[in-house]
Structure 1
Amino acid sequence: MSARSLTTRLLAIGGATVLIGGLAACSSGGSADTGSSGGKTTITYLVDNAEATGVTAKALITAFEKANPEITVKLDTKPQGTDGDNLVKTRLSTGEMADVFNYNSGSLMQALNPDNTLVDLSKESWAKDVDPQFTKVVSTDKGMYGAPFGTSFGGAVLYNKKVYAKLGLSVPTTWAEFISNSEKIKDAGIAPIIQTYGDTWTSQLFVLADFGNITAQQKNWATQYTKHKESYAKQPALAGFQHLQEGKDKDLYNKDYASATQANGLKMLADGTGAQYPMLTNAISAIQQDSPDAVNDIGAFALPAANADDTNLTIWEPNGLYIPKTTTGDKLTAAKKFIAFANSSGGCKVQNDTGTPGGPYVISTCTLPDSVPPMIDDLQKYLDEKKASPALEFLSPIKGPNLEKICVQVGSGITSAAKGADQYDEDVVQQAQQLGLKGW
């Protein structure tokens, strides 16, 4: 499964937890509008057509137009996935892009050739309030091109706090402590580490969520990986595959790991028959829906590294809002106002009212409502302490299609960690070559 497919699939868990916009809609305009009618300026806002986030797009426009009666915003939609990516690139290249559009941050944004196609937003008043980790994934050396929309979410270990309290356990900060906790949980007759290979994509978390720890040890690893000068076959990246193997070798997984689904795993976590589940934190919305009485019992911690100093939370950053360079004059002024509103108290209220946050916001002007699960506070601490890093997919375009299958084999004891890492290094070669990356 591709990085995009993984993220898209996760957004469907229990409702949209990262607000990436969309309403099956509306108009088909771009910046070809005259932009003004009866003294009003008209702009177009392009989002994807995901129904789950459609309410947010419509509510944002309604609130903005109420606060800015001189501006009309028309909603346009694009397909999700590769078709949507191609449409964005085509409209940018032909000068027909909407005045504001909602799109991925990270490597997919970089593929838009932003220095030549997008408006630099680094001088806008809200830019200083954005978390540096998000700024990194919407910027080049020449400018910052995106504003955040929605919340981040983490790749972490969800854990049952009641089980931890009963057994006198503390949140681990090293891998050795994590294994020690897991063995004590096993001795108590509880499944220590939940794995759910019935949904094969969930097998990837030991590898994907370890990336924050990789960057803590080697800051430029993603850049070197993109240049084919780093690989998963050696440390520090090999550790994720080794974790998968160690969990199996020490019999720390639930007995039905091969057939259990993510829904089964979350239920185990909620009822305390399983204690720890490497998972994306936006899964808390499914627990809210299916086991609401257990929400306050669920905490989260970063997947531990070998050394505590290297233990970082891996973050999936929210989408960005962008303006194409073809938007000029009154339309540019209006587009900037729209983006500023999205990140104001009014825009943040819309986001809080129409979605379930799966993690912290990445701009200080947006605050989470009091009703969010306490697990979100666990994630916020890593951001506050500068112990969080973007997932690899935000820093490199390379992700092979067979990672989940390889992880299932390693986690099932069919393939060794070293062999699985070698297989994954081979898996990415074709994609890197198709992208035309140097060194491949």
Structure 2
Amino acid sequence: MLRTRAVALAALCMSVAWAGDGAGLRAADLRIVSSTGHVPLLRRLVDAWAAGREGITAEVRPGPKQISRETEIDLRLSTGGMGDLFTYSAGALFRAIQSRGRLVDLTWLPLQRRVDPAFRAVVSADGRIFGVPLGGASVGGILYNRRLYAELGLTEPESWARFMENNRRIAAAGRIPVMQTYASPWTSQMLVLADYYNVSRSAPDFATDLVARRASFAGTPAALRSFARVEELRRAGFLNADRGELGLEDGLAALADGRAAHYPMHDFGLEVLHDMAPEALETIGFFPVPPDEAGTAGLTLWMPPALYVPKSGNNLMNVLDFLDFVAGPKGCAIVARSVRKIRPLIADCGPHVDVPPALRNLDRYLLDPQRHTFALEFLTPLKGPSLEQICIALGLGVIDAGEAARRYDRDIERRALELGLDGWHPRSGG
């Protein structure tokens, strides 16, 4: 309690005296813990920030391999192992860790006035804002090898049936139709998550009804269909046989060199591929998860990760000065050159440059509000922590789509009970 009050008092004082120009900083380490994929960007930001502040030293440390998983984050927050600043997801996953009350309130920062309101909403709890965006809005769907498509005379599929026909022709040519990489567990859920636009088109009230406990994945045909797509690909033999042993980089390499045709993926994969083999980006295309009805495709969008401040950290003045730098002109310029996203989320930040070919022709979706939606985790506080393991079991054939949906419904129920959502109570026999 004393620690919490001290942090709150320090924040209150700085909200009055904050100048944002680096004056009065203490020479001390700034320790940032980040998922591996964001380390290069953060190091560029830290180097530029520290260069103008004599005597300041800073380090960016990649987190443990499972940094994206909630249990690891929660453990490190409870033991002071998340440094002075860390990156993590916005939306439902953020709400789960903040429910323990371990983050510093950043509502009062002047920079928040320039942050897109849609982003502020997904890093807020109880009317308070806890995060600052790192990067811009992004998209999930199917990455594909354009050169292989041209070689086989294929076109981007407008329906799921056409997608499956493309996969049959790809398999007949001796290539892998669809890559899966379960050694990077989070990648297992991408097809299910990126299918949410199709779910919302068939069941427009699904997000609201899920929170109110009027809907479930197993009981909503459109939501069950997301799991069924994975099962259909597996039963057809379209997934790579070594999917249990390969990770993200393996999947991207196979896609880039034409061994594989498709990889369900968030566009974060393009950033990783840029670091692996930037020339390969010219061969990669993108399309949304194909719908069952031709001509109805749309995008599922993601918010970027956020920078959060743990109450267990030190050097709060340095942390806040760094956040101000990230959201300022110099930080925005570094992000624009480093992160290839569809649009920034901080006002006055210029458009991202060097956007890869895969993301250059999405305006027909982005400019029409009826042809895109945010992923479910940004529309509700509910994302079950076991989804990736459920999807791995589904992709390996351990369970079928119906059982996957039922397991995820139970996972969501546990999360709702943890969050104390109205109307949720243990079901009898559950």
- Give me the TM-score of the superposition, normalised by structure 1: 0.70
Question: Structure 1 stretch 51-60 or stretch 260-269: which is displaced more?
Answer: 51-60
The equivalent residue for 1:69 is none
Match of 1:205 among 190, 200, 215: 190
Q: Is the 8 A contact 1:157 1:300 kept in 2?
A: yes
- In structure 2, do the counterparts of structure 1 residues 135 and 291 end up closer, same or farther at CA, with 3 Å as the change threshold? same
1:167 maps onto 2:152 in alignment: yes
- In structure 2, do the counterparts of structure 1 residues 142 and 288 end up closer, same or farther at CA, with 3 Å as the change threshold? closer
Match of 2:270 among 284, 295, 309: 284
Q: Is the 8 A contact 1:119 1:322 kept in 2?
A: no
Q: Deviations over 1:266-314 (max 9, x none)?
A: 2221111210111222122332333343221011111122235653322
Cα distance in 2 for residues equivalent to 1:230 and 1:417:
17
Cα distance in 1 for residues equivalent to 2:134 and 2:414:
33
1:82 maps onto 2:67 in alignment: no
The equivalent residue for 1:229 is 214
The equivalent residue for 2:136 is 151
Cα distance in 1 for residues equivalent to 2:95 and 2:241:
43
Helix, strand or coil for the counterpart of 1:428? helix
Helix, strand or coil for the counterpart of 1:236? helix
Q: Deviations over 1:171-213 (max 9, x none)?
A: 2232222212222222333221122334443221221211232
- In structure 2, do the counterparts of structure 1 residues 412 and 199 end up closer, same or farther at CA, with 3 Å as the change threshold? same
Superposed, 1:386-425 pairs within 5 Å as: 386=369, 387-425=371-409
The equivalent residue for 1:32 is 10
The equivalent residue for 2:70 is none
Q: Is the 8 A contact 2:33 2:86 kept in 1?
A: no
Superposed, 1:42-81 pairs within 5 Å as: 48-50=32-34, 52=39, 54-59=42-47, 61=49, 81=73
- In structure 2, do the counterparts of structure 1 residues 77 and 414 end up closer, same or farther at CA, with 3 Å as the change threshold? closer
- In structure 2, do the counterparts of structure 1 residues 305 and 322 end up closer, same or farther at CA, with 3 Å as the change threshold? same
The equivalent residue for 1:268 is 254
Q: Which amino acid aligns with 1:188?
A: A
- In structure 2, do the counterparts of structure 1 residues 46 and 225 end up closer, same or farther at CA, with 3 Å as the change threshold? farther
The equivalent residue for 2:414 is 430
Q: Is the 8 A contact 1:154 1:314 kept in 2?
A: yes
Superposed, 1:2-21 pairs within 5 Å as: none
Q: Is the 8 A contact 1:303 1:311 kept in 2?
A: yes
Question: Structure 1 stretch 269-278 or stretch 422-431: which is displaced more?
Answer: 422-431
Q: Which ranges of structure 1 fall in alignment gaps of 5 or more residues?
A: 1-27, 67-72, 89-97, 324-330
Q: Deviations over 1:135-183 (max 9, x none)?
A: 6535689798866331233322110001112222222232222212222
Question: Structure 1 stretch 250-259 or stretch 225-234: which is displaced more?
Answer: 250-259
Helix, strand or coil for the counterpart of 2:291? coil
Cα distance in 1 for residues equivalent to 2:168 and 2:409:
32
Cα distance in 2 for residues equivalent to 1:228 and 1:37:
44
- In structure 2, do the counterparts of structure 1 residues 225 and 74 end up closer, same or farther at CA, with 3 Å as the change threshold? farther
Cα distance in 2 for residues equivalent to 1:48 and 1:30:
21
Match of 1:369 among 313, 328, 353: 353
- Give me the TM-score of the superposition, normalised by structure 2: 0.71
- Post-superposition offset of 1:259: 3.5
Cα distance in 2 for residues equivalent to 1:289 and 1:103:
21
Helix, strand or coil for the counterpart of 1:400? coil
- Post-superposition offset of 1:382: 3.6
- Post-superposition offset of 1:411: 2.2
Helix, strand or coil for the counterpart of 2:177? strand
The equivalent residue for 2:229 is 243
The equivalent residue for 1:10 is none
Q: Is the 8 A contact 2:49 2:325 kept in 1?
A: no
Instruction: Say how many residue pairs are matched.
Output: 383
Q: Deviations over 1:370-393 (max 9, x none)?
A: 3x4322325566434443332222
Q: Which amino acid aligns with 2:243?
A: Y
Q: Is the 8 A contact 1:195 1:203 kept in 2?
A: yes
1:184 maps onto 2:169 in alignment: yes
